[in-house]
Amino acid sequence: MSDDVIVAEGLTKVFNKSLVAVDHVNFSVKDGEIYGFLGPNGAGKTTTINMLITVLKPTEGKASVLGFDIVKQANMVRKVIGVVPQEYTADEDLTGYENIILCADLYGIPREVSKKRALELLELVELTNFKDKRVETYSGGMRRRLELACGLINRPKVLFLDEPTLGLDVQTRTATWNYIRRLKREYGMTLFMTTHYLEEADALCDRISIIDHGKIIVTGTPSELKEGLGGDIITISVKENADVSEIIRGVENVKEVKNEDGAYRIKAEAGEVTAPLIIEALRKKGYTVTKLSLTEPTLNEVYLEYTGKAMRDTEESKEAFISQRITLRRARTV
Amino acid sequence: MSGANEYKPSLTRGLWALTVRELKKWLKDPVMVLMLVLQPLIWMGLLGKSMRIDALFSANNINLPQQIPIPSNAVISPTIPPGTPYVFLNGTMLSQMFANMGTNIMQNTFGVADYFSYMAIGMISMIVMTTTMFSGMSIVWDRRLGFLDKVLSTPVPRGAIIFSKVLNATLRAMFQATIILALAYVLGLQLSSTFTLLNLLGIYAAIFLLGVGLSSVFIAFSLRSTRMERPMQIISLIMMPLMFASNTFFPISLMPDWMQAIARVNPLSYVTDAVRQLTILPLDTSALITDFAYLSIFAVVLAAIGIVLSWRYLTK
């Protein structure tokens, strides 16, 4: 057995015998790290989590959490993990406190322990003042924190977070990030999270796997992934309606040029030196540069590099997204 | 280190926690509780009091004149002197005779002279049926809102999830049945001389058996249907036939043969009869034993089917 806390080998989930939600993914999560699955909606992130938390059975492949097989030893897995789901699952008609106690009862934690622990957790997520208010009256951020508290009631060694800041405003999101960092730092917890926010993956995760169409495309630390791009990104637009890719390619240090609807995405070493050279080369041929931007690689570039589309592109085709979402929902419930 | 493993998630503990959640949910909702009381009140007070079949045969309704002339040749009697054109009957006495016959008809048909008592008990089974079927549907919401998945990710025994729903549906039905019975009593339900408070236990047992059987199947069905509307449609589809092809409102013996066949396998007939035996009818022990035997088989078979189906879904 390895030291890895989560190990997945060829993990696959096929819905309705045709919809491949997760396609032979392999990964391992080390003890005490925050590991993120980054990908657009419908990429298979939630399905992967649902398999790891033993709610769904894999069609193929296997995985283990803390050495327990997720299928054969599902009950052992359930005891040692905590789950913070994507949805707000707390019962709206109950108070925050009652919800936590309910979770504790499901784990069979004795009342004298759970009562004390519930208060501690409410303190941790700063809901002490609202503990006897119905969840109905909670804001989105409060609900998310309550979910977090529920997920921690059994003192899990591994915590699964599915889109932990989905739909939260910027301030609440930052606050949630702080809670997550604290869990890692103070409790030495291993965290597995999914997100479709690049900045979230960048800010929180020790390692990331970019996942799309159910497959892991690349894995690494955020900085490894960025460095792996091998250079800065220069984006340039010219006034004239002509393909100038070849001219740009001729410039020193330029590694790659992609024409994206009139804007050129250029990968180049030492961007700040190369950019003026490109402008010069274009001017000599009689082209006018209208726009130029220089960025050091971010995860956005990494994402673009590996999936061939910008994160926002995936949301452009809303209809396709919604229909896929509905299919997935239905499929999960069959 | 974490002491997660030292806890023992148990069926009873989980069952209790999940059932209390449901009970809290509806007890905290005053509108819901009000509906639980109002619904039977409307059925009982309006329908029960408007359909007065027994009043059809009352002396008032027959309303004969004081004297009723009858042509004397219509009367076969040697004592009437020849040549008398008419003899007269005492209308009041005749009305009373008809009314007495009416009471006999009621008694023979329904087992009791007043239809309200008969129907009030029928309503208990009807409401138990609808309540148990509908309340199982809350599992559709649990699934939609992600609550079910969260519970499934905890080590709580899967059985506790299903049983809590069954128990909740059944407890709710018992609560409503108590209200109906109390209301009916206030509105004039006539208890038989064999009724004792101990009979209430029998009533609850009968309701429990029907509730367990019906809700198990409906929970399994709701769990598997992707749309909220589907279980609703099924319920409204089967509710009417179950209600009418049974002794809920009318005795089985006067129904056409084909309908009797349905009514005799309809569990509603047995619950209704059991509750009637225990309340308004003079207790017929052998009938009661038959009722309970049937209801027990019904509950065991349907609960087994329902639980197996739900289990398969929850452990897929």
Q: Write out residues 214-243 of B within 8 Å (CB-CB) of A.
A: 224, 226
**Mean pLDDT across B299-315:** 89
Among the partner-chain residues B25, B156, B224, the one whose CB lies closest to the CB of A106 is: B156
The token duo for B99 is 């009314």
Q: For chain A, what is the mean pLDDT?
A: 86
Predicted local confidence at residue A1, as pLDDT: 46
Among the partner-chain residues B7, B149, B152, the one whose CB lies closest to the CB of A107 is: B7
Three-state secondary-structure class, residue A293? strand
B63 conformational bin, left if phi > 0, alpha if psi -120 to 50, beta if neither: left
* pLDDT beyond 90 at A96: yes
Among the partner-chain residues A55, A75, A103, the one whose CB lies closest to the CB of B149 is: A55
| A60 confidence band (pLDDT: 50, 70, 90) | very high
**Owner of token pair 């984006």:** A235
Q: How far apart are CA B11 and CA B163, in angstroms?
A: 9
Which chain A residue lies closest to B145 (C-alpha atoms)?
A89
Residue ranges covered by each domain of chain B? 9-51+111-314, 59-103
Predicted local confidence at residue A134, as pLDDT: 93
The answer to whether A94 contacts chain B (CB < 8 Å) is yes
* pLDDT beyond 70 at B3: no
The 3-state secondary structure of B88-112 reads EEEHHHHHHHHHHHHHHHHHHHHCC
∠ at Cα B20 (B15, B25), nearest 5°?
A: 135
* pLDDT beyond 90 at B79: no
Query: Above 0.95 for ipTM, yes or no?
Result: no
Among the partner-chain residues A86, A108, A330, the one whose CB lies closest to the CB of B10 is: A108
Q: How far is B129 from chain A (nearest CA, A)?
A: 26
* pLDDT beyond 50 at B4: no
Collect all residues of chain B within an 8 Å Cβ-Cβ radius of residue A87.
145-146
Three-state secondary-structure class, residue B156? coil
Among the partner-chain residues A81, A93, A105, the one whose CB lies closest to the CB of B13 is: A105
* pLDDT beyond 90 at B231: no
Contact check, Cβ <8 Å, A108/B152: no
| B6 confidence band (pLDDT: 50, 70, 90) | low
Among the partner-chain residues A53, A94, A110, the one whose CB lies closest to the CB of B153 is: A53
Q: How far is A76 from chain B (nearest CA, A)?
A: 8
Contact check, Cβ <8 Å, A78/B3: no
The token duo for A165 is 């800041």
Among the partner-chain residues B2, B145, B152, the one whose CB lies closest to the CB of A155 is: B2
Q: How far is B240 from chain A (nearest CA, A)?
A: 29
Q: B23, B138, B149: best mutation site toward chain A, by most A Cβ within 10 Å?
A: B149
Contact check, Cβ <8 Å, B3/A79: no
| A289 confidence band (pLDDT: 50, 70, 90) | confident
Domains of chain A in start order, with CATH, are 6-221 (3.40.50.300), 230-296 (3.30.70.100)
Which chain B residue lies closest to A158 (C-alpha atoms)?
B2
Contact check, Cβ <8 Å, B145/A87: yes
Collect all residues of chain A within an 8 Å Cβ-Cβ radius of residue B13.
105, 108
Total CB pairs under 8 A between chain A and B:
102
Residue B71: phi and psi, rounded to 5, are -55, 135
The token duo for A294 is 């220089």
Q: B182-193: per-residue pLDDT in tens?
A: 989 998 899 998
Q: How far is B30 from chain A (nearest CA, A)?
A: 12
* pLDDT beyond 60 at A324: no
Contact check, Cβ <8 Å, A80/B4: yes
Q: A170-181: per-residue pLDDT in tens?
A: 888 888 899 899
Contact by Cβ (8 Å): B191, B204: no
Among the partner-chain residues B2, B9, B143, the one whose CB lies closest to the CB of A333 is: B143
Q: How far apart are CA B267 and CA B264, in angstroms?
A: 8
Collect all residues of chain A within an 8 Å Cβ-Cβ radius of residue B158.
none
Q: A218-251: per-residue pLDDT in tens?
A: 999 988 888 777 778 888 888 887 788 888 888 8
* pLDDT beyond 90 at A333: no
Residue A126: phi and psi, rounded to 5, are 55, 50
Q: Write out residues 104-133 of A within 8 Å (CB-CB) of B.
A: 105-110
Predicted local confidence at residue A334, as pLDDT: 43
Q: Write out residues 116-155 of B within 8 Å (CB-CB) of A.
A: 143, 145-147, 149-155
Q: B6, B150, B223, B226: best mutation site toward chain A, by most A Cβ within 10 Å?
A: B150
Which helix H or strand E contains B14, and what residues bound it? helix B11-27
| A105 confidence band (pLDDT: 50, 70, 90) | very high
Q: How far apart are CA B157 and CA B151, in angstroms?
A: 10
